[in-house]
Structure 1
Amino acid sequence: MSAPTHAPERHNEKSIGPVVQAPIQWRFPIAAIVMAVLTIGFAIISKGESVFSMAGASRAFDIPNWHMDSTLVVWILAALAVAFAAGATFLAVNRKKHVATMTGLAAVAFILAFLVWIVAGRTGAHMPVVQLLQGAVAFAVPLILGALSGVVCERSGIINIAIEGQLLAGAFMGAVVASISNSPVLGMLLAPIAGMLVALLLGLFTIKYRVDHIIVGVVLNMLVLGLTSFLYSSWLTSDPGHLNKAMALSRIRIPLLADIPVIGPVFFNQTILVYLMYIIVIVLQFMLFRSRWGLRLRACGEHPKAADTVGIKVNRTRWRSVILGGALAGLGGAFFTVGIGLAFTKNAAAGNGFIALAAMILGRWNPKDAVAAAAIFGFATNLGYVMQSVNNSIPYEFLLMIPYVVTILAVAGFVGAVRPPAMEGKPYP
């Protein structure tokens, strides 16, 4: 007798367990709801007329100031913020895309309502639009270059907590060289050398001697702060007219582009330091993700052993990345002296290195995203100064807190779970 044949088994689809869905991410909807509630609060307390000044928006013709009923405008913005918050919540609950986009739109409505409220009903007060945006671009320069320094270093596997010290060293070098040579441009060009010297110490202790990266970065920040403070007190103050003069880079108008209303004066009537920042961002974004150099650098931060097996010199690549990162941060430090026309003072960097680190994390170790995050912080910094000029009732100390509060909120509320380079902070071999 032949053996009985068995029909092939059929898999019953119903036997498969329920599909496990990803947990709902509430951080964006909650942030949008909070901003919507605050916008409603601005609408309730906004009274009178708000004036937005368009002075300097165009050289070809005058753009009149915008006069608006603050109550009506802020209520409209509040309605939009509520709609965007509801959209973000709906998308999050249904696990759809574009939740962050809806939250970003709610943030825009909140910021605009805040700006309208600042000058609402204040006689003679106006919001200088061009000055606000132009200053935001300028204040973003050290944050962007500091964030790019962190991106280059950490993509190769080196945690760069010493950005604050590199910015401060660059500010010191820029001021001294500019004062001695009577050339702010030369001071700007030599400022990266100071950042590179700090980076050499960072590389020496982290790569060669395998010391914990966080500890080394903190120590270097304290070292540079103490050294520059000592040199300022004992050397620069002895002859400030020769060693520590306030010298500023001149603005350079780019023909045609600078004549575009609003956009032109904001982006294309800046100093050479700002234009260098534009070029560095574009080149670094391309090189990091579209070149062999960038692939090798990222391999050293993600899987150095695999990089070593294909002939990449891991530690040599890390050394180069650390030095490049120091140069970028040193260039950014020049902003605090020759970039804005100030003499060097103690702790000139004022914590901007740590804000740059936050921008790097918020930008998920990507140059273009880090630029966007740094631009937000730069806007918040300049907003504090603008609010002082319009005689706002908020105390001065609270205005100085704005960029740091924004930093905390951004990192705590918007970053969520991010994955840094897998082998950052770990020595090799």
Structure 2
Amino acid sequence: MTIALIDANAFYVSCELLFQPWLRGRAAVAASNNDGCVVSRNDEAKRLGIKMGTPVFELRELVRRGEVTVFSSNYELYQSLSNRVMAILQEQAPRVFVYSIDEAFVDLAGVSDPEGWSRMIQQQILRSVGLPVGVGIGPTKTLAKLANWAAKRWKSRTGCVVDLRDPGRQEKLLRYAPAGEVWGIGPRLSKRLAEDLKIDTAWQLASADPKHLRRHFNVNVERTARELLGTACFPFQDAGPERKQMIISSRSFGNKVHALEDLQEAVAGFVSTAAGKLRSQGSLANCIQVFAKTSPFSAGEQYSGSRILAMPYPADDTRDLLRAALTGLKALYRPGYAYAKAGVILSQFAERGTITGDLFAPRPRPNSERLMAVMDAINLREGRGTVRFARERPVGAWSMKRELLTPAYTTSWQGLAKVSCQPARSA
């Protein structure tokens, strides 16, 4: 099997610079919700020493001196451009698994020249959408991910395409790459690997005893090690080692919230987001937790409330999860407080297709799976929130701050660039 991982370079920032080309070659970053911290940065920002997660307020002096431009995250724009990229992949590849807003795995079965195809798709996306992408090729999803990392790390030498099908090239990269750069490992797990098993590189991870890795960590670490050796362990249409066992959707509010109705609107949006993530990885939730709290930095009286509710049956239907969350929110709500944050946590997952029915438990809604699939498909194609439940409101007192937001260039008539023409002056 040959798999390619297509990943947009500095996706959020690249989307912004596409409509502000005069900023190309200058440092730029995109901020998280409420303009909190850096979540995307271009190479010029990296050279200034700006790291992912840097609080935006720490960049004020650089902004004042004109050394960096900061954008609020324009999710509507990013999703629109992501849809265009994914549409090109769907047209040009036999099978595509959209992994995230800026990443997709592509099955290259039947493609005689994977590297040539990758450079073709790279140019087509750049020409049609205007976004640069990197491509990693390998016999497994984990090796394709690692190849993509190498493609971006040495982009001037690789042209942002790396083919890891050759075993010799695999070993060379595995001996160099830190274990923390392997898909599903990350900083925390790589620290444990180094401390407990003296594993520092991807090659050492691949060479470790798989059974020992399973006993010491979990089955996903074992599968990751096997994938590094070329054995496919994660199905193509699967979230892989990053399949979550808990999904959290929460946010600090742009303004303090006092009314229960405003809290309900915010929580409804969080439930919708969490339910979508749950369905995307093929899981069902047995438990939902809802919480709301005041700011620990405010001078007023503090309050933090939480409720955990068991679902009557494993569910991924937004309606079922929303009913439970609003029941919990009503129970924890206390009037008179200025709420600064709320959220929901889904947990105790079961996988769809593995559930044994309970004769005495309530039955799931008829046609639930089909309805949610249609709703997800429309929102993916037309933009998040195109189809939503009445309890959700796109804007409210709780909405996040986006003081540096650019126009919705591709999804709103008001966001279109304006061109004014004046008659030429006569000599």
Same-fold status (TM-score > 0.5) = no
Could you tell me the TM-score, scaled by structure 1's length?
0.23
Q: Which has the higher contact order (CA 8 A, sep 6+)?
A: 1
Greater share of strand: 2
Greater share of helix: 1
